[in-house]
Amino acid sequence: MDFKRKLLTAALPLVFCMSTAAMADVKIKFAEVHPAGYPPVVAEQEMGKKLEEQSKGEISFKMFAGGVLGSEKEVVEQVQANAIQMTRVSLGIVGPVVPDVNVFNLPFVFRDHAHMRKVIDGDIGQEILDKITNSEFNLVALAWMDGGTRNLYTKKPVRDIADLKGMKIRVQGNPVFIDTINAMGGNGIAMATGEIFSALQTGVIDGAENNPPTMLEHNHYQNAKFYTLTQHLILPEPVVISKVTWSKLSPEQQALVKKLAKEAQAEERVLWDKKSADSEAKLKAAGVEFITLTPEQKKAFYDSTASVRAKYGAPYADLISRIEAVQ
Ligand code: BDP
C-alpha cells in the first residue's frame, strides 16, 4: 500500500464517524421554552428526525428544550437574526412584533378550543401564518401547535370576577394581555415564562394564567392552588424558521420543511389532548381546586373585556366576523 492510499484508508472511518450535523449543509437549532416530553417538544423532535432522514442528511436538527437558549422574546430576536434557526412561540409573543396576529390574541375571540382548531386548520389560520411570513420581521411561519385554553391560577380563590380585584396577575409581554387582566379588575404584570415560578413563590405576583400542562410542568401549581376556568384566551403557537435559513433551502427542501411542520401540527394535537387530561388529573391530585364558573359568571369576564376587543379588534372587524362564522 503506498503512503497516500494508507492515509486515505486511515481517514475513512473518521469520515463515517462525523455526525450528520457536521456534514449537513443547513444546521437547525430549535429553541423551546418547554421541557423535554412536553407535547410540542415531542412533535418537533419527531419533525427534526424526519427532516434529517428525508433530506438525506443535508439538513441537521437539534432541539434545545427547557428554555436554555433564553426567554421566548429573546429567542424570537435570535431567530430573526438567524443565531437560532427555528422555534415555536406563543402567538402572544409575536403580537408586539407583528400586530396583525393580535386578532387571535383577543380575549374570548374563539368560542372554545374546538373553534380555535377549526379556524387555524382553515384559510384564516393560513392567512395569519402568512401575515407573519410577509411581515418585515425575518420569520417564515410554517404551522401551528396547540396551546390549549388559558385560565387563571391564583393563590387565593377567584370564584367570581370581583375576587380578582387588585390581584397581580402575570401575563406574557403583550399589551393586549395586560389590558385584558386590567379590564377584568386585576393588575396585569408582564414577565417571561421562566420568572413565574419564583414570582409566585416570593409573592411578587398573586397568580398567573395558563393551560393545565404549563401550570403543571413549570411547577406553578406549587404556589397557586386555585384554578378558575375562565377560558379567556385560546392561543395557538406558530412554528417559525428564520428567513435567512429559509432562503438557503432549495425549493424541494422548503417543501419538505413545510410538509413535516404540518405533520407535526397534526401529531402534537393528539399528544396535547392526552397531556391536558393527564395534567388536570395530576393537578387535582396535588390539591389544586378547579373552579367552574356558571354561564352568568363567565359572561361577567367576557363583558368586562369588551373594551379590549374594541380597542385592538377595530381594524380587523371583517376578519373577526369571518372567525365567528367558522362552525
Ligand atoms: C404556554 C406557551 C408558551 C408560553 C407560556 C407563557 O406554550 O409558549 O411561553 O405559555 O405564558 O402556554 O409564557
In the chain, the domains with their CATH numbers are 2-325 (3.40.190.170)
pTM score: 0.92
Beta strands in 194-315 (DSSP E): 207-210, 226-233, 237-242, 289-291
Q: How far is CA 77 from CA 5, 13, 70, 91, 320, in A?
A: 49, 40, 10, 14, 29
**247: Cβ contacts below 8 Å, ≥ 6 apart:** none
Ligand 1 atom with the shortest distance to the CA of 209: 11
* CA of residue 112 to ligand 1 center, whole Å: 18
Q: How far is CA 236 from CA 42, 91, 159, 246, 300, in A?
A: 17, 6, 27, 22, 24
Summarize pLDDT for 261-272 with one digit per residue, the tens. Answer: 999 999 999 999
Considering only CA atoms, which residue is closest to atom 2 of ligand 1?
90
Ligand 1 atom with the shortest distance to the CA of 193: 13
* CA of residue 31 to ligand 1 center, whole Å: 13
Q: Which of 34, 69, 90, 205 to mutate to test the pocket of ligand 1 (most atoms within 8 A of CB)?
A: 90
Summarize pLDDT for 117-127 with one digit per residue, the tens. Answer: 999 999 999 99
- CA diameter of the chain: 88
Q: What is the pLDDT of residue 19?
A: 54
- Is residue 1's pLDDT more than 70? no
Summarize pLDDT for 77-90 with one digit per residue, the tens. Answer: 999 999 999 999 99
* CA of residue 90 to ligand 1 center, whole Å: 6
Ligand 1 atom with the shortest distance to the CA of 72: 9
* Confidence bin at 92 (pLDDT 50/70/90): very high
Q: What is the pLDDT of residue 24?
A: 80
Summarize pLDDT for 221-240 with one digit per residue, the tens. Answer: 999 999 999 999 999 999 99
**Residues in the ligand 1 pocket, defined by CB under 6 Å:** 33, 72, 89-90, 147, 172, 193, 210-211, 214, 237
Q: Which of 145, 176, 210, 272 to mutate to test the pocket of ligand 1 (most atoms within 8 A of CB)?
A: 210
Given the C-alpha cell 396585569, which residue does it identify?
Answer: 188
Q: What is the pLDDT of residue 22?
A: 60
Considering only CA atoms, which residue is closest to atom 4 of ligand 1?
90
Considering only CA atoms, which residue is closest to atom 13 of ligand 1?
193
Ligand 1 atom with the shortest distance to the CA of 89: 8
* CA of residue 34 to ligand 1 center, whole Å: 8
Q: Which of 30, 72, 215 to mutate to test the pocket of ligand 1 (most atoms within 8 A of CB)?
A: 72
DSSP string, 143-204: EEE----EEEEESS--SSGGGGTT-EEEE-S-HHHHHHHHHTTSEEEE--GGGHHHHHHHTS
Q: Which of 214, 216, 218, 237 to mutate to test the pocket of ligand 1 (most atoms within 8 A of CB)?
A: 214
Considering only CA atoms, which residue is closest to atom 1 of ligand 1?
214
What percent of the chain lies above the pLDDT cut of 70?
93
Considering only CA atoms, which residue is closest to atom 8 of ligand 1?
90
* CA of residue 14 to ligand 1 center, whole Å: 42
Mean pLDDT calculated for residue range 15-43: 84
